Amino acid sequence: MTPLLKTAGPLCGVTVVEFAGLAPVPFAGLILADFGANVIRIDRPVSSHAPVSPDFLCRNKRSLAIDLKDPRGLETIKRLIRRADVLIDSFRPGVLEKMGLGPDVWLGSSGQNGNLVFARLPGFKQGGPNSDRAGHDINYLALSGVLSLLPGTSERPSFPLNLLADFAGGGLICAMGVLFALIERQRSGKGQVVDADMVSGTRYVATFPMLHAALQSSVVASSESPRQSNLLDGGAPFYNVYTCADERHVAVGCLEPQFFRIFLDRFLIALPSHWLKKQSWIPDIASHGRKEEWPVFRKFMDKAFRLKPRDEWAAVFHGVDACVTPVLDPMEAAALAAPGDASLVPSPSPSLSRTPATAHLPFPDVLLPGQHSKEVLLEAGLHADEVADLVKAGIVGIASQAQRSKL
């Protein structure tokens, strides 16, 4: 099957069948699509009155809407998978197996597509005590052990949106596993199953803090050192976020002594002398290593940063290795990443010099279920009259004008 949207990406020629799901699976497919793969999202047919799913992680993908409960629909999707390189399973464990689409159908000596990379992306580990349970990022993060290490208050940790489990430990790890399997396939000529559950993926992403927790070092919280008393969990005053006079923020990260020295010099000079004279305690270079002073040091920083607006503080530390940066909002960050382009959509990363990723579609954009049904099926080898018959029978859905008008 020849991809229609990409011509030069590193994954050009790789066809991916992505069963529509929530954030982690669409993100894994997005990564593969951005770097040139022909990603086909499998949706359920919807009526013209049904709401469109707001899945914005659809750049560079195409949609086939098909009824998998109908025998003809099931056989049609099998024809598509027989020609595919990758399948991404978005369902709970066992669902595709019950439909007759599990890895045993494709892989092995009698499989129908021995080259297939069959990627699973469940929340919990296959065969574990929670494998059949529903969950979301915060639940996977909690069971991974990572949530307990994150900053927050001394009473409870906080969570970073749904980034760690859904997107880092989930979608990104899954896409990486698919790439590993595709590389190995070049040597063996065989596909394989990629299991990328989000609890395990999150633990892997957090290898560094987990090792420090095991060693009970002073980097993250442990049984010996509560939260907000360690280097990276909000305890260190020189690794934290501070509110400025305009209620915007700066991030301070001068962990190393040489950077702390530069920070402290610039910081104290920038503070009004009359204000400094009123303070009962002022940090010096040795305060960096005197952990018993960190609470009073943090209070000093809280009060001091509120004396100037964010951009004035940014100017104070501009061009020096003090490790102080303004906390930008999404629009500011977009302008900094791509001057002259105010788009909030991040560009694909990493950047490749010879076969770069492409991002064709603007934001916001919604991939309508069935938007490319006809062309996908024709590419899969179905005749035009077969496709027309499937559409007429309601087995294959076509995006309607009514759906488009809702965007």
Q: Residue 115 is encoded by which pair of tokens? A: 């080259």
Q: State mean pLDDT over 53-64.
A: 85
pLDDT digits (tens, 9 = 90+) for 86-118: 999 999 989 999 999 999 999 988 899 999 999
With 80 as the cut, is the pLDDT of residue 404 above it?
A: no
With 80 as the cut, is the pLDDT of residue 47 above it?
A: no
pLDDT digits (tens, 9 = 90+) for 227-256: 889 999 999 999 999 999 999 999 999 999
Query: What's residue 51's pLDDT?
Result: 53
6 burial (CB, 10 Å; 0-12 / 13-18 / 19+) is buried
pLDDT digits (tens, 9 = 90+) for 334-384: 888 877 665 778 889 999 999 999 776 555 578 899 999 999 999 999 999
Query: What's residue 403's pLDDT?
Result: 57
pLDDT digits (tens, 9 = 90+) for 218-232: 899 888 888 889 999
Closest by alpha carbon to 213, among 296, 258, 157?
157
The phi and psi torsions of 210 (rounded to 5 degrees) equal: -65, -40
Please answer whether residues 230 and 218 qualify as being in contact, where contact means their C-beta atoms are separated by less than 8 angstroms: yes
**Which active-site residues does the annotation give?**
136, 166
Position of tokens 């305690």? 281
Query: What's residue 4's pLDDT?
Result: 45
Q: Please report how many Cα atoms fall inside a 13 Å half-sphere around the Cα of residue 261, on the Cβ side.
A: 3
Model confidence, pTM: 0.91
Q: State mean pLDDT over 45-71.
A: 81
With 80 as the cut, is the pLDDT of residue 1 above it?
A: no
Q: Which residue has the higher pLDDT, 132 or 382?
A: 382
pLDDT digits (tens, 9 = 90+) for 282-314: 999 999 999 999 999 999 999 999 999 999 999
Closest by alpha carbon to 175, among 34, 53, 56, 81?
34
DSSP letters, 164-222, are IIIIIIIIIHHHHHHHHHHHHHHHH---EEEE--HHHHHHHHTHHHHHHHHHT-SSS-B
Domains plus CATH for the chain? 15-205+348-405 (3.40.50.10540), 239-337 (3.30.1540.10)
